[in-house]
Amino acid sequence: MYQVENSGDLIKNKRQHLWARVNWATVGRTVFLLGLTSFLTDISAEMVSTTLPIYLMVMLHFTPFQVGLVDGLYQGAAVLVKVISGLIADRYRKPKEVAATGYLFSALCKLGYLLVGSSWAAISGVVFLDRVGKGIRTAPRDAMIAASSQPTQLATAFGIHRALDTAGAMLGPLLAVAILMVAPGAYDAIFVVSLCIALVGVAVIGLFVHNPDRTPNEPDALPSPAESERVSVRTALSLLAQPQFRRLVIIGSALALVTVSDGLLYLTLQRRLGLTTSFFPLLFVITAFIYMLLAIPVGRLADRLGHKRTFLAGYAVLALVYTVLLLPVNVYVAAGGMLLL
């Protein structure tokens, strides 16, 4: 698959060019347009995802178990189709079309929230399809970024895209809070605004982004049709035959199974703090901001101590947070623990 397959090279490239002067001309128009698409899409997506738990509990009277299932679908559905969408984009050399389909799929699902009413099964279906759209677009979008960037600017290109993506993810909850402050309980308004913003993002990729046009001799060239034909599900699944990769998948899956939904944790904190429902999305913004501040320092720490140790330490901290929330501790201690998420 013509994706970024060697993460080690990408990390090494990032270290070499982290503080170098950015050559904006070589970063490319496609990277900025895809970043803009992700910026708009993440505003739309986070408007919904950060208000969905409180909407389901307060407005539709879902049980915590039902909210957990819906949130699990929201977080996990994308994984199911990432490999398939990457295979299709590789085989037919149409990454833009595949990615645009995913963006459109997610955008139309925002309309679904308005139409399905209060049925738990129907809302679960919409949530599932929404994240399927994310799974469809992720692999071909990243492939286009890689294929549209010079090798020496690869880390910069992904950094620009991720920065725009993160900015959208932080603006989305703030916009949702603004709507709820003006019109408390107006969740339909959030879904409508989210739909409109998502459609603008679809228009950007559909009208202005083009498939990378490179010759096979260039470093980041798209695979030839003959090469694409060799890409198959069997090829992708053959990675599981590698013992180290298989162990990583098993450990990661096991840890994911015991990880509690962030939405449920935020609902717990919201009740302890006595926050109004209008300010519930701010909990997501605060933790996202803390994540943004700590991402680079923790990354450097991982380079020094080792990725495995840092990875396990992260889950140890997460277990500590769960323990704090289970105990009858001071509400501010609980809030401080949530920041460690």
pLDDT tens-place values along the chain, 341 residues long:
333 334 344 444 444 443 344 455 556 789 999 999 999 999 999 999 999 988 988 888 888 888 878 777 766 666 768 778 888 887 888 899 999 999 999 999 999 999 988 888 888 889 888 888 988 999 899 999 989 888 777 777 887 888 888 889 889 999 999 999 999 989 999 999 999 999 999 999 999 999 887 543 344 444 444 444 455 667 666 767 788 878 877 887 788 777 777 777 888 777 777 778 888 888 888 877 877 777 767 777 777 888 788 888 888 888 887 887 777 766 666 666 666 66
- Structure pTM? 0.74
Where in the sequence is the domain holding 52, given as residue range(s)? 1-234
Whether residues 284 and 217 fall in one domain: no
> What whole-number distance in Å separates Cα of residue 60 and Cα of residue 123?
11
Q: Do residues 134 and 250 both lie within one domain? A: no
User: CATH number, domain at 133?
Assistant: 1.20.1250.20
In this structure, are 22 and 158 located in the same domain?
yes
- Which among 207, 234, 261 is the end of a domain? 234
Given 216, 234, 252, the domain boundary residue is 234
Whether residue 252 sits in one domain with residue 179:
no
Same domain, 181 and 254: no
Question: In the prediction, which pLDDT does 68 show?
Answer: 78
Residues recorded for the chain: 341
Encode 134-165: b = buried (16+ Cβ within 10 Å), e = exposed. bbbbbbbbbbbbbbbbbeebbbbbbbbbeebb
Q: Based on the domain organization, do 249 and 322 belong to the same domain?
A: yes
Can you tell me the distance from the alpha carbon of 159 to that of 141, in angstroms, rounded to the nearest whole number? 14
Q: Are residues 136 and 15 in the same domain?
A: yes
Q: How many domains are contained in the chain?
A: 2
Residues 38 and 173 in one domain: yes
CA dist 13 to 183, 187, 212, 338, Å?
A: 48, 44, 21, 34
pLDDT for the residue 336: 67
